[in-house]
Structure 1
């Protein structure tokens, strides 16, 4: 899916969604790191990365290997600032973003890029189902193609692959700001 994505300003930095998405979303949220500015993959300019922990060697090493041989310049940011910048890049709406309008600067026009959003997954709640005298609300998850460039989200029998189910579950938890994920095995269901 192609959509017009425009760079945004967050405080003193330009947040370019296509460039932010050069690093996996789960990695960015879990390590509190965000690419700042526009990255030309064919270029050789250093890449600025906003980080809550700029001295974290594991995170720096992962990013450096990803963009080798380019130099990575860590920029100190708070966890909240990194999270807000990532939310802006991924189009995730949060009350803090909606009320903190003074942090948002002018929008710079830009061309089209391919991207995916977790909001492309829709959950449909149906009537409660009675299993062994206990009521469960059945939730069907409708997966739509999220622009994963040739990777199928389904196995040969048409079911979602385990990897994609777990990835979607983790991404949804990250998007909601969850600190824990609990799975409870029920008689005919798994409660999340």
Structure 2
């Protein structure tokens, strides 16, 4: 009987199986998937509407460069702030950004300038997301030791790496299947869901080292 219960005990004792960490990973995954999926779909829309490879490349570049260049600043921003509040705010702002642009497109149709602005804003917000989550890990696991911290960081990195490949493919498939406006509606719901999930994450006080 003792052996039968040992796996259950080890699972229950694993900090990475806690509700808080699952919510953290779920919020990150939903947000990153929605962000990159929409940004790639919008680039495809530009190509379809303009027929210009240069416009497509420019919009795609605008959606990628800020994430690459500003990611280090995301870590600085998250250093002494309430990480949960930042995560919720990032996803709420992403949802509002897409909603505003969707309203513009519904009223005026395709608008290249609005797409360019949306791509840049989403890329900037994306640059802040993963560093904020990484900065939250010490708060969540500070009492569990370095091994748990490394495992938690590995999980976050896997989610981040997966979110750089899969959403682009999925975004192209969904765009071809349903079009640009339904894609925007899907991502608004995705960002909203991520923000709601993150509201239930419990974190300790920020480190002041």
TM-score, reference length from structure 1: 0.25
Higher strand share: 1
Greater helix percent: which structure? 2
Larger RCO (CA under 8 A, 6+ residues apart): 2
Structure 2 length normalisation: TM-score?
0.23
